[in-house]
Amino acid sequence: MLRFLHYVFLLLFCLIFFQACKPKLPGSSEQVSAKIEMDSLQKKRIDSLNFKINQVILSLGPPNKIPYPVVNIKDTIYYWLSDDYTGKISIELEPPDEVEWPMFFIYQKELVKIRYRHLTTNAGVRQTYESNIYFNKGKIVYCEERGRVLAEGEPPGATRQHSFKPTTRSYQEVEGDYIDTWKTILEIIRKIDPKANHIIP
């Protein structure tokens, strides 16, 4: 009974914050802010850390799962978190005609990278977008992105034929892709796993 009430509470929490949690499409923000100061050395360092994170994830085995049936009944939060607070959080949302898939990479308590993928269909036009956002001490230090309109019958993976390019969007526009989702998902995991309380928001 207590376990049932626990998940009911989580569901209500998710429903309250769903609109805040929904990532924004590139260019959807009307606000303007400073450009990101691209630091290619930090990007290289974080890519090296990402290899270590993936090794930790492999050692942890299957992910922990938290039901997140706000958009689609199958939506689930998956996360791995080691005793030194290194791991990954992944969530796939499937609202009508869309797929949102952010992945948060954590190294020793700190968010260091987000891989964000989005597929949408508007008026019969299918479009993909993918970005890698890099962080140092909570600040975005690099962002690269790619995307395209898909031809009829073309799979979303066709985007991989194109190289990533440094973003031309403002700091605030890039931040809008993830910030509300990150805070909301982290709060949910903290209610389940005490280790998540050590992650820097």
Contacts of 3 (CB under 8 A, 6+ apart): none
Residue-level pLDDT at 157: 65
Helix, strand, coil abundance in the chain, percent, nearest 5: 35, 35, 30
For the whole model, what pTM was predicted?
0.80
pLDDT at 19: 42
How far is the C-alpha of 136 from the C-alpha of 140, rounded, in Å? 7
| Pair 50, 187: CB distance under 8 Å | no
pLDDT in tens, the chain (201 residues): 544 444 444 444 444 444 444 444 444 444 456 899 999 999 999 999 999 999 999 999 999 999 888 777 888 899 999 999 999 999 877 766 777 889 999 999 999 999 998 887 777 778 888 999 999 999 999 999 998 777 777 666 667 777 899 999 999 999 998 999 899 999 999 999 999 999 998
DSSP conformation letters of 100-164: EEEEEEEETTEEEEEEEEEEEEETTEEEEEEEEEEEETTEEEEEEEEEEEPPTT--GGGGGGS--
Whole-angstrom distance, CA of residue 126 vs CA of residue 22: 19
8 A C-beta contact, residue 188 and residue 18: no
